[in-house]
Amino acid sequence: MKKGIIKALSFILMTTIILGGMASLPVKAEPSNYKFDFGAGSVEKGYIGVSASDKYNEKTRYGFNTPENMRNVAASGTGAASDAVQFVTYGTKSTNTFNVDLPNGLYEVKVTLGNTARAIIAAEGVYQIINMTGNSATDSFQIPITDGQLNILVTEGKVGTAFTLSALEINKLSHHPVTNRTIYIGGDSTVCNYYPLSGSVQAGWGQLLPQFVDTDAFQVRNMASGGQIARGFRNDGQLEALLKYIKPGDYFILQLGINDTNPKNNTTEAEFKEIMRDMVKQVKAKGATVVLSTPQGRATDFNSEGVHTSVNRWYRHSILALAQEENVPLVDLNVLSSAYFTSIGREATLALYMKGDTLHPNRAGATELARIVAEDLKKQGLNGFVEEKKEV
């Protein structure tokens, strides 16, 4: 009888040890970092090669959702940018996406385009990067993953051009699927990004604003685009993307009006003001801080006394009134930039604009405008801005 009990106890003990050992065996986890090289050419060292025909499957954890709508194409870059895939069907809500399984968390995604005139990056059904231009253009964005998968595609920035992707790098930043504090920017061609980001001749002040931001505290997401009007920013996807992610502690700096005043856009000043008001209210409802900015004038807005002034341009008075009515901070860049232009004179002001163009700043001009914006916001008590220009 005792022998039977001893055998039974021994069996239970052995089973417990075996099961305990199995429980401690490492489980194959989903990767949190990837480097993909797209196209049919050779694969760059350290990258995973992905052809247009590679369909997503649970074993590899990545692939195209509808590879029949993808195409391998050549590209004129080097390394991973020497070939690409083209998205034959596209759109922010398109299911023709490249899918990657990822543990939930916050990620940085770096995108390199192939040969593309102008393209938009969309993920999770909304815009992420607006109007990347030029072959092998590169940019990155933060994105929270909450459903275990990234769904990304390249979509239309300019009608009739190809939308291609050469490389993708994905790196996990945090286990928490919440973006870092963010300064979102809305605007037009005087505000938007130009590529390559680090060396473009033309630039918008939103592109250069990170030089005057404490990037340990904030990231900057420039959602501005050339030719934009208030109705377009609200209705065509940019505000939608912003509202998906913006949160308390974030800022939204909004500068529009230049193109709204153009008769072809059929926007009266009263309509402009109410569309802007609607955007202000929607963002404020998310708990974020809205900042309105007036656009700077033209390089040639000097009077006979050598004073730069453009106070009646670009629906400025309605922007000032709206800021007061909705109790939001205002950067009167129109007046602030005029004071700076007056101080440096006509010729030095012209040197801050694109050659033969009195409206669009060059890189030096965009830097000065970004400095003025940051300095004014710092004076108004908004944190996250620095006085000295820094490299980013």
Q: Which of 189, 225, 310, 338 is catalytic?
A: 189
- DSSP-derived 3-state class of residue 169: strand
For residue 113, report the phi and psi dihedrals to the nearest 5 degrees: -80, 165
- Residues with Cβ < 8 Å from 230, sequence gap 6 or more? 256, 257, 260, 267, 272, 275, 276, 279
Here the tokens at position 245 are: 């992610």
Q: Rounded to an integer, what distance in angstroms lies between the CA atom of residue 360 and that of residue 191? A: 9
- DSSP-derived 3-state class of residue 264: helix
Buried b (16+ CB within 10 A) or exposed e, 288-327: bbbbbbbbbbbbebbeeeeebbbeebbbbebbbebbeeee
For residue 333, report the phi and psi dihedrals to the nearest 5 degrees: -60, -30
7 C-beta neighbours (distance < 10 Å), count: 10
Note if 360 is an active site residue: yes
* CB-based contact 188:265 (threshold 8 Å): no
Here the tokens at position 192 are: 């938007």
Q: Rounded to an integer, what distance in angstroms lies between the CA atom of residue 13 and that of residue 24? A: 17
* CB-based contact 330:291 (threshold 8 Å): yes
Q: Which of 301, 338, 360, 376 is catalytic?
A: 360
Here the tokens at position 218 are: 């904030």
Render 212-246 in DSSP notation, one character per residue.
GB-TTT-EEEE---TT--HHHHHHSSHHHHHHHH-
Q: Which of 386, 357, 346 is nearest to 218 (CA)?
A: 386
For residue 371, report the phi and psi dihedrals to the nearest 5 degrees: -60, -45
- Residues with Cβ < 8 Å from 384, sequence gap 6 or more? 181, 183, 213, 214, 217, 218, 251
Here the tokens at position 4 are: 């039977």
Give every strand in the sheet of 289-293, ordered side by side.
219-222, 182-186, 251-254, 289-293, 330-331
Note if 357 is an active site residue: yes
- The catalytic site residues sit at 189, 357, 360
